[in-house]
Amino acid sequence: MYAVIKTGGKQHKVAIGEKLKVELISAEIGSKVTLSEVLMVANGEKVVIGTPVVAGATVEATVVAQGRHKKVRIFKMRRRKHYQRRQGHRQYFTELQIDAINN
């Protein structure tokens, strides 16, 4: 059984027991989170696709960690113009453990 959820402007395919990193969710470590934007639920041959979300479907998860990704380095340069610019960015994330998919 798996589901496709939408969180943080992105879509993720999730299954029970799986861990995934999503955009920052303001919740304490160890707390339960309910994700209500479920776009699709599949259970074997039975597939339910929402328009745009599946009515009454939720995904329950536990917050495992809060953190920041590795640094992404941005380097801009114009050749022969003596222009170079360096910049870095670290995005915040929340790591979730999927507990249940309710249909």
Band of residue 4 on the pLDDT scale cut at 50, 70, 90: very high
Instruction: Determine the pLDDT at residue 17.
Output: 97
Question: How confident is the model over 18-43, as pLDDT tens digits?
Answer: 999 999 999 999 999 999 999 999 99
**Tens digit of pLDDT for each residue in 61-98?**
999 999 999 999 999 999 999 999 999 999 999 999 99
Residue whose entry in the numeric block shows the structure tokens 């999730």: 14
Predicted confidence (pLDDT) at residue 103 exceeds the cutoff of 90: no
HSE at residue 75, side-chain half, CA atoms within 13 A, is: 3
Output Rg (C-alpha) for the chain, integer angstroms.
18
Question: Is-contact 11 4, C-beta < 8 A?
Answer: yes
**Among 36, 32, 39, residue whose Cα is nearest residue 54:** 39
pLDDT in tens, 42-62: 999 999 999 999 999 999 999
Instruction: Please report, in angstroms and rounded to a whole number, the separation of the first and last CA atoms in the chain.
Output: 11
